[in-house]
Amino acid sequence: MRRDEDTGHRLEAYSDAVFSVIVTIMVLELKAPEEPAFSALWPLWPTLISYAVSYVFIAIIWSNHRYLARLVGVPTLGLIWINFVHLFIVSLLPFATAWVARTRLASSSVAFYAGLFVCADTVYNIFEREVLARTKATHVSEHVRRVARCRSLVVLAIFTTAMLVAFVAPRLSFALVCGALTLHLRPDLTNR
């Protein structure tokens, strides 16, 4: 029994470590300006904005992942692989963030960025569905499951729309990504 508990905790601990490395890589992309004036920060706005949004995305993923991990119990091999795929997709976030910043929110980079959110959210939805399917009804009510599923589909639709809009209006697309993230600020998987 102890080994099974360790396995669930190891999945969570590994994920935590990967999220930490991703944030570290992102922060290493932040370069301070040479000039000693606040006005020197203005040209860095794409970097600061994309970093902030990506950081919030990581925070949301981590908090929701951690919340779901409490419900996992002993993870199946399938759940472990879903988690690896999710972490792989999220590990591309520093690259996408840097590209958005360097191109100053150009269409292609924002489309890629939003597309990465589509992929990460799709795999997260699969992870969430698998975890909730294994969770006893006493832990999470059917109503809460429906609300979580509906919210996940709405967020996925917004990310997909943002990806398509990026080719015409990249800043609007970026704003859509930001708006969609607000829907995932709380896991809300509690019985009410």
Residue 158 scores a pLDDT above 60: yes
pLDDT of residue 49 exceeding 70, the answer is yes
Residue 146 lies in a domain: yes
Spacing of C-alpha 97 from chain mean position: 13
pLDDT of residue 122 exceeding 90? yes
Task: Evaluate whether residue 35 is within a structural domain.
Answer: yes
CA distance 97 to 112: 10
Residue 165: how many other CB atoms lie within 10 Å: 21
Categorize the per-residue pLDDT at 136 as very low, low, confident or very high, splitting at 50, 70 and 90. low
Please give the angle made by the CA atoms of 22, 128 and 134, to the nearest 5 degrees: 130
Q: Which residue has the higher pLDDT, 149 or 51?
A: 51
What is the predicted pLDDT for the residue at 142? Answer: 78
Q: Among 86, 75, 116, which Cα is nearest to 15's?
A: 86
Instruction: Establish if 189 belongs to a structural domain.
Output: no
Q: 115 lies in a domain?
A: yes
Comparing C-alpha atoms, which of 72, 59, 61, 62 is closest to residue 140? 72
| Contact (Cβ atoms closer than 8 angstroms) between residue 90 and residue 19 | yes
**Overall pTM surpassing 0.85 (yes/no):** yes
3-state class (DSSP) for residue 31: coil
- pLDDT at 191 (0 to 100): 42
Closest CA to 111 of 65, 73, 33, 165: 165
Give the model's confidence band at 135: pLDDT under 50 very low, under 70 low, under 90 confident, else very high.
Answer: low
Encode pLDDT of 3-29 as tens digits: 545 566 788 888 999 999 999 999 988
Of all residues in the chain, the percent with pLDDT exceeding 90 is: 56
Q: Which residues span the domain enclosing 71?
A: 2-182
Q: How many domains does the chain have?
A: 1
* 123 in a structural domain: yes
- Residue 187 in domain: no
**What is the per-residue pLDDT for 119?**
97
Q: What is the pLDDT of residues 163-178, one digit of tens each?
A: 999 999 999 999 999 9
In a domain, 42, yes or no: yes
Task: Determine whether 77 is exposed, middle or buried from the number of CB atoms within 10 Å of its CB (0-12, 13-18, 19+).
Answer: exposed
Reported as a single tens digit per residue, the pLDDT across 89-105 is 999 999 999 999 999 99
pLDDT at 11 (0 to 100): 82
Question: How far apart are the C-alpha atoms of 66 and 57, rounded to whole Å?
Answer: 14
Residue 127 belongs to domain with CATH number: 1.20.1410
CB atoms within 10 A of CB 43: 11
